[in-house]
Chain A
Amino acid sequence: MNGPLLEVADLNVIYKTYEGTVAAVNGVEFSLEAGRTLGLVGESGAGKTTTALSIMGLVPSPPGIITSGSVNFAGKNLLSLSEKEMKKIRGNHISMIFQDPMTSLNPVVTVGVQISEALVAHQNLSEAEAEKKAMEMLEKVQIPGQRYREYPHEFSGGMRQRVVIAMALACNPGLIIADEPTTALDVTIQAQVLELMRSLKEEFSTAMIMITHDLGVVGEVCDHVAVMYAGRIVETGSLEQIFGNARHPYTLGLFRCIPDIEEETSKIRPIEGLMPDPLDLPSGCPFHPRCPQCMDLCRTVVPGVLDDGGHRVMCHLYGKGGAVHG
């Protein structure tokens, strides 16, 4: 295949609410090669989930509106497809893993049937073939195949999330979007699930977008990182670039405010101030009110993107200024 598997360009999404218009995603751009994993990091309200839903064509409408942009997946602009065409892609070529395995499984249907549903729908398998394949998938996520006929409540939280992963992988999709897949799990279970995701990703050579607020999780599974703040990607690059040489003040702040478990530090340095109000985003650089290095320029002009060997930063400290998408 030529070019990246997924290319998101100039994506803008707004939510029209009673209180006003929420600019959820503002000119998001990134691309992802087949088989690679991108970590989409940010705090609540950064627009991570909305970005993912836009790719899936699942932005709730109303109130959500995709005002502009394109999502090219395997050569097709997903935003221009009809709902019927999208249905063929969802669960087949792109699938999603949600945060809470409790609510993303149907409690009254056996896990086996839930896994084979997608196979029957998308791959024209007979029930028997689908059952066989579903059992294989269960084994792949380290659940004995004979538990096929059990219901979600018979599994523990970590096991349920594995079932969800098996469902997502069943049709061998090109891309999986995982929205905080381990946030609801305990640390030791999280470690198990992350380990499993790491090995399956290699086995199936599936590309993945991992949405998370936890930089540690990103470090465990991702090759690329995109840091989001107030609906924009403020910094993106390879794992080494971001973890080894973070440049944006927000990214630096994020690293600094996590207490280090390996080193001895007495004080952590928080990012001052509050999360921006999504109804009333700051002018200029959205991070300027909280930025320790804020300059006059930052208050008025949206910074351009400086690209340094794939390490892209949106900050006046590094760029020459000027609005790129503004």
Chain B
Amino acid sequence: MNNENGTLFAPSSGRTKEREKRRSPWWEVWRRLRRNKAAVAGMSVVILLVVVAVLAPVLAPYDPNQTNIKMRLQGPSSEHPLGTDNFGRDMLSRIIYGSRISLYVGFVAVGIGAVFGGILGAIGGYYGGRLDNFIMRCMDVLLAIPQIILAIAIVGALGTSLLNLMIAVGISQLPRYARVVRASALTVRGQEYVEAARAVGASDARIILENILPNCMAPIIVQSTLGVAQAILSAAALSFLGLGIQPPTAEWGSMLSSGRQFLRNAPYLTFFPGLAISVVVLALNIFGDGLRDSLDPKLRQ
């Protein structure tokens, strides 16, 4: 170890197979994250929910759309742990199936926002000047409109469907990704390794994709975890307003919305979907916070 720099022409000690093993920077992030108990708890809840969503057909005791008028508006019981709704459908099964839609909408909408926002931000930050100004002013326009109203307008224009809902939520989230990525792209652009890449003849597209974006991943990831929570809330809100998922599909927002009429005699119809939303949002937020801390290079060492 000590002598490997000693002589210029070091004995040819190793060929490809003797290389020390790959240990990516993410491994270190994971190590730091592991120490943050709250973040690990948040992450576990999120993973648990994803597992529940994937295994919904196995876990759900009943068919979520099976109506049974005789059993309508039953309180929680051993047969129906979370009770039944006004059509006699099992609430537990509906919430389990609802997690599929909510998580799906959350992740896809964030994916749309992060990918397009990230690219726009990276381009703006890397080139600067007029192009940057143009992109960022467009983002400002989007930001000036309240997110939910923007999403309503987009769904209104495109029509109500699951895909349009995700696009609407994604677009309404675009500016924040563009902004955080642009901010870090501005710092990365000034780094010598970007200059080095230009000196070895890398094209702008290559620099943006290979140097700028990977080095902006930390803020994108943090924004994304917080964004998923927001997207789920937005989707729930749109569904609540009748612009998102249409009945009878089980979705937490629309369940909340339809349970509202029975708030007095069957509060559990709104309580459980609301609780589910809160748990996901809280878990994602705690996880996102922890992730931000462990991704912060200033805390290294």
Closest to A282 in B: B2
Residues of chain B within 8 A of A17, CB atoms compared: 301
Interface 0/1 of B238-262, CB less than 8 Å to A: 0000000000000000000000000
Interface 0/1 of A247-286, CB less than 8 Å to B: 0000000000000000000000000111000000000000
- Number of A residues whose C-beta is below 8 Å from B? 8
On whether the beta carbons of A273 and B3 are closer than 8 Å, the reply is yes
Residues of chain B within 8 A of A19, CB atoms compared: 301
Enumerate B1-20 residues with CB–CB distance to A below 8 Å: 1-3, 5-7
CB distance from A19 to the nearest CB of B (A): 7
On whether the beta carbons of A272 and B301 are closer than 8 Å, the reply is no
> Counting CB contacts under 8 A, is A289 at the interface?
yes
Interface 0/1 of A17-34, CB less than 8 Å to B: 111000000000000000
CB distance from A200 to the nearest CB of B (A): 36
On whether the beta carbons of B301 and A273 are closer than 8 Å, the reply is no
On whether the beta carbons of A272 and B32 are closer than 8 Å, the reply is no
Determine the distance from Cα of A273 to Cα of B5 in the docked complex, in whole angstroms. 6
> Counting CB contacts under 8 A, is A122 at the interface?
no
A contacts with B: majority SS: loop
Residues of chain A within 8 A of B6, CB atoms compared: 272-273
On whether the beta carbons of A289 and B301 are closer than 8 Å, the reply is no
> Counting CB contacts under 8 A, is B198 at the interface?
no
Residues of chain A within 8 A of B3, CB atoms compared: 272-273, 289
CB distance from B119 to the nearest CB of A (A): 35
Determine the distance from Cα of A274 to Cα of B3 in the docked complex, in whole angstroms. 8
On whether the beta carbons of A274 and B2 are closer than 8 Å, the reply is yes
Determine the distance from Cα of A274 to Cα of B1 in the docked complex, in whole angstroms. 9
> Counting CB contacts under 8 A, is A147 at the interface?
no
On whether the beta carbons of B35 and A272 are closer than 8 Å, the reply is no
> Counting CB contacts under 8 A, is A290 at the interface?
yes
Closest to A277 in B: B1
Residues of chain B within 8 A of A290, CB atoms compared: 2
On whether the beta carbons of B2 and A289 are closer than 8 Å, the reply is yes
Question: Which of B2, B31, B35 contacts A273, CB < 8 Å?
Answer: B2
Residues of chain A within 8 A of B5, CB atoms compared: 272-274
Determine the distance from Cα of A289 to Cα of B2 in the docked complex, in whole angstroms. 6
Residues of chain A within 8 A of B2, CB atoms compared: 273-274, 289-290
Residues of chain A within 8 A of B7, CB atoms compared: 272
Residues of chain A within 8 A of B31, CB atoms compared: 18
Given contacts A17-B301, A290-B2, 8 further A-B contacts (CB under 8 A): A18-B32, A18-B35, A19-B301, A272-B3, A272-B5, A273-B2, A273-B5, A273-B6
Q: Show 18 A/B contacts (Cβ-Cβ < 8 Å), sorted by A.
A: A17-B301, A18-B31, A18-B32, A18-B35, A18-B301, A19-B301, A272-B3, A272-B6, A272-B7, A273-B2, A273-B3, A273-B5, A274-B1, A274-B2, A274-B5, A289-B2, A289-B3, A290-B2
